[in-house]
Amino acid sequence: MALDHRLTPEHEELRRTVEAFAHDVVAPRIGAYYERHAFPYDIVREMAAMGLFGLPFPEEYGGMGGDYLALCLALEELARVDSSVAITLEAGVSLGAMPLYRYGSEEQKREWLPKLCSGEMLGAFGLTEPGFGSDAGGTRTTAVRDGDSWVINGTKCFITNSGTDITGLVTVTAVTGRAEDGAPLISTIVVPSGSPGFTVAAPYSKVGWNASDTRELSFRDVRVPAANLLGEEGRGYAQFLRILDEGRIAISALATGLAQGCVDESVRYAGEREAFGRPIGANQAIQFKLADMEMRAHTARVAWRDAASRLLAGEPFKKEAAMAKLYSSDVAVTNAREATQIHGGYGFMNEYPVARMWRDSKILEIGEGTSEVQRMLIARELGLGRG
């Protein structure tokens, strides 16, 4: 299969539009939110007005009629400046709205997607639990059918977009029964914000992504309509595996943006900062660092676009998504470390964007599947047995 990763005029126009927005709107304002650990509602409203939350969804549901590549292009450009706003968009679309679009009934789509696509409402995906991170099959949250309702009990952790003023729903994975062999049947159920018994904890104190919203959620006899079941009962595990496969491409694009942002900031700094009578960019040691950083960012971009191309073509993409996520997250951490080194003492000061990038990079090796999980997935796709 021949893949052409050059962008169409429409995709390039979108990329340039988001690039300008990130540079002109996000960059001057996000530092203050980051330092206060505050959610940037005004920036998110402007992102919503641009249609970014509806990028990959059909117009009939209030979307922009684009595709997953369009979403990933926006994520990369935002993350070149700041990862908090990028992860807010990624989680709102890939984890919040996409499960409804992929698996929801027509009635569910009509009810929820227009508000999610417009950015009037944010959605979240309640998967991870305190005792089970990578082993999501160990879900302890339960949902018991009681007449025309599901009654949900359990706890979720590290859930992005789950406690903002505009959060409207959380799609929760829960055990709804047992198979004949005793294996848990995991289903996904939409829980509207504000449901009685649904408690949202205070925001976490995080190392990075400080201008995004991340919380622990608890469900104590939360009763929702039976019609809030998303897709078939017992198919929740398979659903979230597909959602995570797609999400890894989006996270890879975000990680690539961070890696490229480290290059952007370091090239700028190397041209301005002087030492021993000349710009530090004239020193070969700095030049070689920057050349390697640019090479890594470019290769990461090729990797995520390859995975996205396969997704859009309806071809298998699980291995390519895992490789892209694994490589780009590693590149993000490496480039952030090198950018900090190039900036010297200023790289340790929060007023410089690379300080945020350094803090934000590490979670990319953990969230939406750790690097170890990605290696496991790649090995399985190579036909190697479970260890």
Question: Known catalytic residues?
Answer: 368
Residue 202: which residues within 8 A CB-CB, separation 6 or more?
215
Q: How far apart are CA 282 and CA 263, in angstroms?
A: 16
- Name which of 314, 377, 356, 315 is nearest 81 in CA terms: 356
The structure tokens listed for 172 are 């929760």
Q: How far apart are CA 199 and CA 209, in angstroms?
A: 22
Q: How far apart are CA 273 and CA 295, in angstroms?
A: 23
Burial 309-320 (b: 16+ CB within 10 A, else e): bbbeeeeebbbb
Q: How far apart are CA 63 and CA 73, in angstroms?
A: 16
Distances (CA, A) of 11 to 2, 57, 97, 259, 317: 19, 15, 21, 21, 21
Q: Which one-letter amino acid corresponds to residue 217? A: L
Q: Which residue has the tokens 């690539």?
A: 256
Residue 21's CB: how many other CB atoms inside 10 A? Answer: 21
Contact between 256 and 297 under an 8 Å Cβ cutoff? The reply is yes
Helix (H, G, I), strand (E, B) or coil at 275: strand
- Name which of 305, 275, 310, 268 is nearest 290 in CA terms: 268
Distances (CA, A) of 170 to 142, 155, 224, 272: 15, 12, 12, 47
Q: Which one-letter amino acid corresponds to residue 185? A: L
Q: For the chain, give percent helix, strand, coil, nearest 5.
A: 55, 15, 25
**What is the 3 state secondary structure string of 72-102?**
HHHHHHHHCCCHHHHHHHHHHHHHHHHHHHH
